[in-house]
Amino acid sequence: MRQQGTIILLHCASVLLAQPEGIDSLEEKLLQTPEKNRVELLVQLAELYYSPNVKKSLEYSEKAFALAKQLNDEQGVYKASKVLRRIHRRLGNFAVALEYTLTTLPQLEQKKDTLELIDSYLMLGNICSSMENYQAAHTYLIRGVILGKSKSSPELANAYTFLGRNYGKQKKYDSAIYFIKAALALEGNQPKADYGLGNAYNYLGEVYTDLERYDEAFYYYSLASMLSEPQLSSFGRTLTYIGLARVYLGQKNYPKAIRAANIAIDIAKANHYRDRARLAYLVLYQIYEAQNNYKLALDCYRTANHYKDSIFSEDNLQYIENLKVNYETQKLAQQNELLLKDTELKNARLQQQRTWVWVAAGAIGFLIIGSFLLYRINIQRRQHNALLTEYNQSLEKEVAHRTRELVQSNLELGRQNSQLEQFSYIIAHNLRSSVARITGLVNILSKFNLPDKEITGKLSEAAHELETILDDLVKLIELKNSSNAFEQVNLPDRFEKVCLVLRDKLKEVKPEIETSFREQVCHAIPAYIDSIFYNLLSNALKYRQLQRPLIVRVTSWRDDGKIFLSFSDNGSGFDSDLLKDRIFNLNERFHTQADGKGMGLYLVKTQVEAMQGSIYVESKVNEGTTFRIMLPVT
């Protein structure tokens, strides 16, 4: 076995970390590629350098991550962070690796990317296990195992391997051996070109070493040592050497143990594997302690603790020393420069002292007189400035006030002009039709010998229609110039009054009128309430559905400090969604079954708004119409 161990060490030590093929061509291509297209190339270079030169891999992956962030390249950010988390885990910077992994985990869970999700769970499990948080590690690794089983993923073998190692660290050796051997069985059935087999051999060796079953441990470490890239990385090879060193230590073969530990340290230092270097120095500490070489044991123990401080502690120390040297150098240079300037100033002052003595007396007198004059001028200037400021503020307020008045006047004029245009249109349209009818009847009367009674009836009807139009226009004009006072109005009484006015039409139509005045009194203008009831009720009678009895419902109630009035019918209705912008306009008509002038709803809306209220309408064709009026309580 000793001879076999020597052969294994010689074989392992002969493994060189050669630069992977394709790096030179990729780096040359990177220089020729525009910046916006470099993310993918940077990620490829980071992956190629991952095993041979982790520091170079870190440099390229950080550049890729920063560029992808700048370009808002979500996929590029994920690819770069995936490499970064692996690098920082190898370097022992577990907190950073954990941050990169958790940052991308929600995105993977949302996309349900199975392979990448399993890889993230395994990474989180390994990081937590390295940080000795075995419970959290177990949670993540079990998620990876369950997901791998459900999808028959090739990553299931790795999940078993890492779960077994986590059990081993908790000294649950039976479970550890079971899961790692299950992983080896899967690797045998579905071999993969990755580090899975090497990890399984190394972790089984760890378990058997802890159990002091050194022959079995040596067997699995031997299998691992014979593997080459990509089945065993330089990172995994450090674990193989550390494991062999522990086996030799257990067998009290100290020279071979020291040699294996030193090889692990050389590889760890070359690749900046801080955590693996720490483990190797701890094994060396145990070896030297077993040999009673306490001086070397203490040195190794201190070095192992030193590796806990940072990823590249030597570089950081050198950087700090350089900063100190630069700081001291700059400080001395500044002090020398100040001393030179101080000497020059003293010489200049000595040369000027005599001149200043002669000039001082005259200058003091001049300064006193000048100061007095400046003081007087300054006082006068402040007084003038205060007056100007006060005048400007007053002027600005006056201009602002006049501007608001002009804007309000312009708006009012615009509104009145618009209404005048509508009045003109109504007068031109409605009066023209009535006058045309009267003119036609007069012509008929002059040409034909018709009964006077019939002609007189037609003329009376046309005159009545003209009178109705003129009454509506007068109401509109009165509404614009109205100064009617608000008072307490009894809604049931006002509705009853309107019903009396329309009693002949109500007897003709015989509608079913339902009233529910839960709020009977409101603060309003009585004439407007009468007009609103009149127009809404007459419209309901005029545009009823002839195929069914007319039902009219009038209700009122109070809510949230306002009075609501609802007026609904089951008449012909109209499409309120389609006509919502025209319903309350002047001269708008939506039915042909009855005569109308298109002013009733305009009057209603204008009167409601004059009482600081608002009106809404909902209507459907052949179903009916509902008007809702909201008025303030006071």
Q: 212 — phi, psi (to 5°)?
A: 60, 30
- The first and second tokens of residue 372, run together, are 């007095």
Output the pLDDT for position 249: 92
C-alpha 374/C-alpha 366 separation (Å) is 12
Output the pLDDT for position 6: 53
- Look at residue 340 and give its three-state secondary structure: helix
Instruction: Find where tokens 């009733």 sit.
Output: 600
Q: Which neighbouring-strand residues pair with 629?
A: 565, 615
Output the pLDDT for position 391: 81
- Residue stretches of the chain with pLDDT short of 70: 1-21, 190-194, 230-231, 308-335, 338, 412-484, 587-598
Output the pLDDT for position 262: 94
CB 233 within 8 A of CB 12: no
* CATH T-level assignment (fold) for domain 484-632: Heat Shock Protein 90 (3.30.565)
pTM reported for the whole predicted model: 0.46
C-alpha 371/C-alpha 376 separation (Å) is 9
- The first and second tokens of residue 489, run together, are 């109005």
Q: How far is CA 97 from CA 81, 110, 143, 239, in A?
A: 9, 21, 19, 20
Q: Where are the beta strands (DSSP E) in 375-443?
A: none
Chain mean position to CA 32: 37
Output the pLDDT for position 153: 78
Output the pLDDT for position 377: 86
Output the pLDDT for position 193: 57
- Kindly list the domain boundaries of the chain, sorted by start residue: 484-632
